[in-house]
Structure formats: structure tokens, C-alpha cells
């Protein structure tokens, strides 16, 4: 990843744009021959060619987006409590779901509510209109919207830890969701919550989320919060 970080760093220094622009414009830049491009698109394409020559494919570059983010926005990553999910772990999770809910990719509505760059769902091949992906960061949404494997999914910003209303109706919270997702929850349609929930680890002490959990007495884990959330919005399926 060293060459990839150098390439993105050079892009930032030349253009003055944020690191995330390299990712959001990557597909457009790579869609045409280098010799036909100019300006920023030419620069991204040329730098990406150098990354490819180093042995890293475009797909591998995208799936390591959070490693790049850590290099150029470490403070923001820590404060948001973001943790990277390798593709190999995500695909292992897919296998468990396949075992217990064989039709989950096509017949269930799936909400990945802390999707980050989308690693947990990128290779899942979920029917796009059934897939909802939310995250804190707009740059993550931009990346997901430009990722071919996630084309057509419902991507949106949402801070469910801060915004969730724990009253019996959850009205304020539901009103912030996409209309179709709100309809699914209100009508109790099958909804599978698929996520790496925000959690507390030793390395999370510097994060806003980690400190918040300590303040409310959940210094060891935030799974209690996560499961309370699931109980209020999820149509549960007997898995065992």
C-alpha cells in the first residue's frame, strides 16, 4: 500500500483536493484511455497506472480505502470510531448467513448501518433495491455510489447511535431514514441488520464513540446499544 499512499499524497499536493476525491473520481478517470484525458482525470489515471504496476489492482486499491484514509485523515477516522473490515472476514460472514438464511441475498431487505467503504457488503451480491447502506461520512457514500459492485443500492448518511429514538414509535428517527426503509420497518417486513457494530476496544479509547461508551457505563462493549437498536427495527428470523 506504500505506492498507493504516495500516489494519493501526490494527487493532494498537486490539486489541493481532499484524498476522497481520488476515490470518487477514479472510475471516471479509468474509463477512458490516458492519452485522451487532461487535467485532474489524466493525473488520477496516470497515478493509478503506477499503482497497478506495483502489483495492486484497482479493486484491491478500492477495498483498502480505509487504509488510505488513515494515512491522510487519521484524526477524523479515530474520532468517528471507524474500524476496517477485511474482505476475507466479510466473505466468512456471508458464508454463515448462507448457511442459516439461504435466501438472504435476494429475498430479504438488508441494512448495513455502519458500512464505511462498503467492505462488508461489496462482494455479497445482494439485490440492489433490497440493500440499504448507511454511514457517518459523506465521502463513504460517494465511494459506495461510485462502486460498481454496489450500484443501485440505497446509500445514505445516518448516525444511528446519536439519532435513535428509544420511545415506542421511534418517529423522529424513522423520519430520517429513506422512505422505503421506513416503510419496511413500519410494516414489519423482513429486514436483516448486517453490520460490524460500533464496539469498544483498547485502541478505541481516543474515539468519541469509545469515550461516550465509557461515560454511560459501557466501557467493555457497545453491543448492548447495538442489540437494543436491532430489537426495535428488525424482523427477527430463527437461525438456530
From first to last of the 240 residues of the chain, give the pLDDT tens digit: 788 899 999 999 999 998 888 988 998 999 999 999 999 999 999 999 999 999 988 877 877 777 787 777 666 555 555 566 777 888 989 999 999 999 999 999 999 988 887 888 988 999 999 999 998 878 788 878 878 889 899 999 987 766 665 555 556 778 889 999 999 988 989 999 988 755 545 555 555 556 666 666 655 544 454 444 454 444 333 332
**Residue reference for cell 487532461:** 38
Residues 6+ apart with CB under 8 A from 73: 19
**Three cell numbers written together for 229:** 437498536
Give the C-alpha separation, 162 to 159, whole Å: 6
Report pLDDT for 40: 94
Angle between helices 65-72 and 2-15 (to 10 degrees): 50
Report pLDDT for 80: 54
142, 118 Cβ separation under 8 angstroms = no
Report pLDDT for 223: 47
Report pLDDT for 110: 96
**Residue reference for cell 500500500:** 1
Report pLDDT for 205: 55
Amino acid at each position: 500500500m506504500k505506492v498507493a499512499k504516495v500516489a494519493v499524497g501526490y494527487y493532494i499536493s498537486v490539486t489541493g483536493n481532499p484524498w476522497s476525491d481520488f476515490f470518487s473520481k477514479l472510475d471516471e478517470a479509468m474509463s477512458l484511455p490516458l492519452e485522451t484525458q487532461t487535467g485532474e482525470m489524466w493525473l488520477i489515471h496516470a497515478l493509478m497506472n503506477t499503482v497497478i504496476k506495483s502489483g495492486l489492482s484497482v479493486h484491491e486499491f478500492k477495498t483498502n480505502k480505509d487504509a488510505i484514509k488513515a494515512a491522510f485523515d487519521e484524526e477524523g477516522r479515530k474520532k468517528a470510531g471507524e474500524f476496517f473490515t477485511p474482505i476475507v472476514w466479510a466473505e466468512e460472514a456471508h458464508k454463515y448467513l448462507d448457511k442459516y438464511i439461504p435466501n438472504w441475498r435476494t429475498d430479504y431487505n438488508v441494512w448495513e448501518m455502519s458500512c464505511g467503504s462498503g467492505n462488508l457488503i461489496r462482494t455479497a451480491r445482494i439485490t440492489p433495491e433490497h440493500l440499504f447502506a448507511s454511514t457517518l461520512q459523506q465521502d463513504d457514500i460517494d465511494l459506495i455510489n461510485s462502486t460498481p459492485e454496489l450500484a443501485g443500492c440505497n446509500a445514505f448518511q445516518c448516525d444511528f447511535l446519536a439519532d435513535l429514538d428509544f420511545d415506542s414509535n421511534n418517529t423522529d428517527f424513522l423520519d430520517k431514514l429513506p422512505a422505503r426503509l421506513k416503510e419496511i420497518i413500519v410494516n414489519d417486513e423482513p429486514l436483516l441488520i448486517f453490520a460490524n457494530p460500533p464496539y469498544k476496544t483498547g485502541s478505541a479509547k481516543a474515539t468519541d464513540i469509545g469515550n461516550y461508551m465509557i461515560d454511560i457505563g459501557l466501557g467493555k462493549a457497545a453491543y448492548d446499544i447495538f442489540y437494543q437498536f436491532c430489537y426495535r427495527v428488525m424482523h427477527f428470523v430463527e437461525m438456530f
